[in-house]
Amino acid sequence: DELAWDHRHASPSTMVSSSQKALIDFARERLGERGVVVDRDDLAPWLTDWRGRYHGDAPALLQPDTLADVAAILERANALGVALVPQGGNTSMVGGATPPADGSALILSLRRMNRIRRIDADQNLAVAEAGVILQNLHEAAEAQGRRFPLTLGARGSATIGGLVSTNAGGTQVLRHGTMRALVAGVEAVLPDGAIHDGLAPLKKDNRGYDLNQLLIGAEGTLGIITAATLRLVPAIARRAVAWVGLDHPRTALNLLRRIEARTDAIESFEIIPGDSLALVLSAIPDTRAPLASEHRWHVLIEAVSGEGEELDPKKLLETVLADAFEAGMAEDAVIAASESQAEALWKLRHSLSEAERSAGPAVQHDISVPVAAMPDFMIDAAREAEARFPGTHATAFGHLGDGNVHFHVRAPQGAGWDRWYAQEAETISRFVNDLVVAAGGSISAEHGIGQMKLHELERLGSPARLSMLRAVKAAIDPRAICNPGKLVSLAPASRGT
């Protein structure tokens, strides 16, 4: 069944099956030359993940730009048994959009399906196609006095289809929730080509299983998202950003609870260890210590008010911080006096990963535990990891209010990156993931499972969770044509594949 793929640009190692060739021919006929990419140079950026950790291969990338074309391709792919890897901006942190290395799947890119079909400012809703880049949606909503309240570092590349499919989070989850809360409707094509039209933003809908929610966070394993109805909020009129020094993550969480009892205008509440801040200040140009004195822990707090709202976020932060000082929770604090000072405080937070990287290689984890358990987890898990792997430095920072932190275990000083990582990464990750599960948490808070965490999910998932995941996959995609080898495998995955 395997034919040599003799296209002039194809990699010599890429074999294309007769069924793949039939699908490529079908797509070329239906989409025209623009809709089918086979040139190796043009394909190259889409064969490797954002972090350069996974290298795949694929004989072609198909790029339909209408719902009807997506449906036709899925129907034909299903009939031929050809696997497809859906792809948006290719910013996945878990190798979710990278095709398998053996060229056994084609890439289905949704980037050309990039229309914003409608913005209904009165209803606070937008309907955007899968390929719309997050930043473009932000700008379109802002032009109408509205805001799509989800943002993340990859906003210039990440697409609506990818964000829906990974149930993405970011820095505003505390107030607005993840994509699950922000998606009011979904349009998708199922693996057999059937169209699911669930775009209507129904407040009440009790027709059984919530099919839209099933597709959100499915990482492209149950079909292709083609569009979504998204909730908007009023554009930001005013914002205030504060930086607080304090003694312990538990104090930080108590402070958050105290603030929440007073207001729901807090968008972000990020925790930063003192030694990570010191790294930022020494490694990142144009950064300045936010407070005059040193502290073991810091939090960044952002409050906003929307167009037409009376609330003054700066006054709000002044009041809650005065209260925090009185209660003995804050050691020191500053409120940004200008937009550029606010940006400077956020820059400290956004530079943490880069500063950590400059201090040496680290095994990174994106984990969550119940919010109330997070302060102790941050301290205890770091201590246990450092004791178990002598010479390492463990650090946790991020979205304390969401019970979600980035947990990094940094290599001992002077350890060579490649050798250390190759020898230690898997053991360290298993150790950290065991601690997370013991604390009732999740080994993936934001980034999904993809190919990176598939084995760990299978090792640590309960039999009930794994059998439900497999049953859903088998029922909706019995021929396993949608993103095989990601999130869930129909039989336990064998290691090393």
Looking at the Cβ atoms of 90 and 229, the one nearer to ligand FAD is: 90
Looking at the Cβ atoms of 97 and 488, the one nearer to ligand FAD is: 97
Contact 165, 225 (CB under 8 A): yes
Query: Cβ of residue 4: shortest distance to ligand FAD, in angstroms?
Result: 28
Q: Is 62 in the site for ligand FAD (CB under 6 A)?
A: no
User: Six-digit token pair at 374?
Assistant: 């997070």
Single out the segment in contact with ligand FAD by CB under 6 A; choices: 4-12, 150-158, 309-317, 343-351. Answer: 150-158
Binding to ligand FAD in span 469-488, by CB under 6 A? 483, 486
Q: Is 138 in the site for ligand FAD (CB under 6 A)?
A: no
Q: Is 149 in the site for ligand FAD (CB under 6 A)?
A: no
Q: Is 403 in the site for ligand FAD (CB under 6 A)?
A: no
Binding to ligand FAD in span 17-56, by CB under 6 A? 50
Q: Is 298 in the site for ligand FAD (CB under 6 A)?
A: no
Q: Is 166 in the site for ligand FAD (CB under 6 A)?
A: yes
List strands edge to edge, sheet with 183-189: 116-120, 125-129, 224-231, 183-189, 195-198
- Three-class secondary structure assignment of the chain: CEEECCCCCCCCCCEEEHHHHHHHHHHHHHHCHHHEECCHHHHHHHCECCCCCCECCCCCEECCCCHHHHHHHHHHHHHHCCEEEEECCCCCCCCCCCCCCCCCEEEEECCCCCCEEEEECCCCEEEEECCCEHHHHHHHHHCCCEECCCCCCCCCCCEHHHHHHCCCCCCCHHHHCCHHHHEEEEEEECCCCCEEEECCCCCCCCCCCCHHHHHCCCCCCCCEEEEEEEECEECEEEEEEEEEEECCHHHHHHHHHHHHCCCCCEEEEEEEEHHHHHHHHHHCCCCCCCCCCCCCEEEEEEEEEECCCCCCHHHHHHHHHHHHHHCCCCCEEEECCCHHHHHHHHHHHHCHHHHHHHCCCEEEEEEECCHHHHHHHHHHHHHHHHHHCCCCEEEEEEEHHHCEEEEEEECCCCCCHHHHHHHHHHHHHHHHHHHHHHCCCECCCCCCCCCCCHHHHHHHCCHHHHHHHHHHHHHHCCCCCECCCCCCCCCCCCCCC
Looking at the Cβ atoms of 90 and 442, the one nearer to ligand FAD is: 90
Query: Cβ of residue 122: shortest distance to ligand FAD, in angstroms?
Result: 28
Looking at the Cβ atoms of 329 and 367, the one nearer to ligand FAD is: 367
Single out the segment in contact with ligand FAD by CB under 6 A; choices: 165-173, 278-286, 311-319, 337-345. Answer: 165-173
Single out the segment in contact with ligand FAD by CB under 6 A; choices: 9-17, 118-126, 157-165, 258-266. Answer: 157-165
Single out the segment in contact with ligand FAD by CB under 6 A; choices: 79-87, 314-322, 324-332, 465-473. Answer: 79-87
Q: Is 398 in the site for ligand FAD (CB under 6 A)?
A: no
Binding to ligand FAD in span 103-122, by CB under 6 A? 110
Single out the segment in contact with ligand FAD by CB under 6 A; choices: 22-30, 84-92, 334-342, 404-412. Answer: 84-92
For ligand FAD, the binding residue among 14, 63, 92, 433 (CB under 6 A) is 92
For ligand FAD, the binding residue among 220, 245, 249, 403 (CB under 6 A) is 220
Looking at the Cβ atoms of 110 and 119, the one nearer to ligand FAD is: 110
Single out the segment in contact with ligand FAD by CB under 6 A; choices: 17-25, 85-93, 137-145, 430-438. Answer: 85-93
Query: Cβ of residue 410: shortest distance to ligand FAD, in angstroms?
Result: 19
Looking at the Cβ atoms of 283 and 334, the one nearer to ligand FAD is: 283
Looking at the Cβ atoms of 91 and 305, the one nearer to ligand FAD is: 91
Q: Is 89 in the site for ligand FAD (CB under 6 A)?
A: yes
Beta strand pairing call for 105-109 and 61-62:
parallel
Query: Cβ of residue 66: shortest distance to ligand FAD, in angstroms?
Result: 14
Looking at the Cβ atoms of 63 and 305, the one nearer to ligand FAD is: 63
CA torsion, ordered 322, 326, 332, 337, to nearest 10 deg: 10
Footprint of ligand FAD (CB under 6 A): 50, 85-93, 96-97, 110, 130, 152-154, 157-159, 161-163, 165-166, 168-170, 219-220, 224-225, 446-447, 450, 483, 486
